[in-house]
């Protein structure tokens, strides 16, 4: 429920001053506690009464005491101030204490093939943080969808967000051992014409792909796929099934290569294609839960791909 603005238009400092006078018994004691003058505290109470349209304190030349209305207001005001202080402390802790719920979005293929192990190790390190993965190829608006962090692959296009580079990307050619048992592995790019190729994401059927060896050599290759898919996760599955040579990001293919289910073809030739970036809402400081997750993802990927560094 949204708080109604018209319920109170005064100063919280005035409310705190009134509560201090009731709690401590005198304006003098309240002023010392608040490090203000007696006149300042008295003016705060008068201003609060004027704002509320009620007499909160009964005044005599020698004493000041709360009225019945003042006692009733004090009881509820103290409760509200305690809740507000708790909310402020929670907000401050969010910047320094890694805890709470984390909502992360990334592409379907990256979310399925790469993130599970990373999320599992993160949860082991930070059990006080719950994680919600939103895997979609749609580029969600972070504020509208309450997203804490977006892991974006490809070219840096979006503006208005805080973006941190995690790593540069490369796409290579991969095949299953079962496919290579039937078809001899290509020794040169010209040999690809004799193979079944699998592509994803809107590449033109007769498109030219520019491969690099990472040390200055380049090769333009015309790719004519026999199978096309809407995402790299599907290309990976088709390649694992032995349907052909798949054009797959090294991040997505890594697990299958490590297990021996896929073999890199024509290594070290690859296509350097953008980067993996972590996007968050621009602001003064990230919540601790977002910051430690971003650092965990970056460290996990650097460790995993230390054997296959990006040379671009």
Residue 101: strand pairing partners: 130
Tokens found for residue 65: 């005491």
Torsional sign, CA 198, 199, 200, 202: negative
**Residues 296 and 230 grouped into a single domain:** no
pLDDT of 64-94, one tens digit each? 888 998 889 888 888 888 777 766 666 665 5
d(CA 217, CA 121): 38
CATH code where residue 284 lies: 3.40.190.10
**pLDDT tier, 310 (very low <50, low <70, confident <90, very high otherwise):** very low
Model-level pTM greater than 0.85?
no
Tokens found for residue 15: 């409310």
pLDDT of residue 200: 81
Q: Residue holding tokens 């002023």?
A: 31
Q: How many domains does the chain have?
A: 3
pLDDT of residue 87: 66
User: In this structure, is residue 162 part of a structural domain?
Assistant: yes
* Residue range 249-260: mean pLDDT, rounded: 89
Higher-pLDDT residue of 132 and 91 is 132
Residue 280: strand pairing partners: 162
User: In this structure, is residue 41 part of a structural domain?
Assistant: yes
CB 126 within 8 A of CB 170: no
**Residues 47 and 180 grouped into a single domain:** no
User: In this structure, is residue 3 part of a structural domain?
Assistant: no
User: In this structure, is residue 309 part of a structural domain?
Assistant: no
d(CA 31, CA 38): 5
Q: Which domain holds residue 225?
A: 169-273
d(CA 120, CA 249): 22
CATH code where residue 59 lies: 1.10.10.10
Tokens found for residue 86: 């708790």
Which helix (H) or strand (E) is 49 found in, with range?
helix 38-52
pLDDT of 192-245, one tens digit each? 989 999 988 665 445 678 888 878 888 888 878 899 888 888 999 999 999 999
**Residues 104 and 177 grouped into a single domain:** no
d(CA 105, CA 86): 30
pLDDT of residue 95: 62
């Amino acid at each position: 429920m949204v708080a109604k603005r018209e319920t109170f238009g005064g100063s919280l400092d005035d409310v705190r001053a009134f509560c201090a006078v009731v709690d401590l018994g005198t304006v003098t004691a309240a002023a010392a506690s608040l490090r203000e003058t007696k006149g300042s505290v008295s003016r705060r109470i008068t201003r609060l009464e004027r704002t509320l349209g009620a007499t909160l304190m009964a005044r005599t030349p020698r004493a000041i005491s709360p009225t019945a209305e003042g006692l009733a207001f004090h009881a509820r005001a103290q409760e509200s101030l305690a809740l507000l202080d708790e909310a402020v402390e929670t907000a401050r802790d969010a910047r320094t204490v890694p805890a709470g719920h984390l909502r992360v979005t990334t592409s379907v293929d990256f979310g399925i093939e790469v993130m599970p192990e990373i999320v599992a190790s993160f949860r082991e390190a930070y059990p006080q943080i719950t994680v919600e993965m939103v895997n979609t190829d749609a580029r969600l608006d972070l504020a509208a969808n309450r997203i804490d962090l977006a892991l974006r692959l490809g070219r840096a296009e979006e503006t208005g967000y805080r973006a941190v580079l995690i790593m540069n990307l490369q796409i290579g050619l991969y095949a299953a051992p079962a496919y290579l048992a039937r078809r001899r592995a290509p020794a040169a790019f010209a040999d690809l014409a004799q193979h079944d190729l699998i592509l994803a994401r809107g590449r033109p059927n007769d498109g030219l792909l520019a491969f690099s060896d990472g040390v200055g050599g380049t090769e333009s290759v015309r790719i004519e796929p026999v199978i096309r898919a809407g995402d790299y996760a599907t290309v990976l599955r088709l390649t694992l099934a032995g349907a052909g040579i798949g054009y797959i990001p090294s991040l997505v293919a890594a697990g299958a290569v490590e297990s021996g289910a896929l073999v890199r073809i024509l290594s070290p030739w690859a296509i350097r294609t953008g980067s993996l970036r972590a996007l968050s809402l621009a602001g003064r400081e990230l919540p601790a839960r977002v910051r430690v997750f971003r650092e965990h993802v970056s460290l996990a990927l650097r460790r995993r791909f230390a054997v296959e560094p990006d040379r671009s």
